[in-house]
Amino acid sequence: MSPLTKSSKPSGESKSLVIRISTGDLVSLDGRDVAISAIAANVQTWRVKNPESSVVLLTDPGASTSSLVKVADGVRQAGVFDIKISPMQ
């Protein structure tokens, strides 16, 4: 196989942690409901196993800006600064 046909992605490619903020400001982290006050601790624990990964914040149009800011602050407190924010589809 020539070098041009090999995948350029490393085999141990890291995945992104997905945090959803839904209407009513309910927060879920990879499908588990989590209190906003527990975001930093949960992200820190997850980051130990995935040190090179980023975080994706998916927000519902009905979620408050205040909740988005609190969740993003918790992620940064956990030492993650690669945060992508996107609306839920």
pLDDT in tens, 32-51: 999 999 999 999 999 999 88
How do the domains of the chain map onto residue ranges? 28-87
Write down the pLDDT at residue 2: 39
pLDDT in tens, 8-36: 344 445 689 999 999 999 999 988 999 99
Quick one: which H or E segment has residue 32?
A: strand 32-33
Q: Is 70 helix (H, G, I), strand (E, B) or coil?
A: helix
Contact in structure between 17 and 43 (CB atoms under 8 Å) = yes
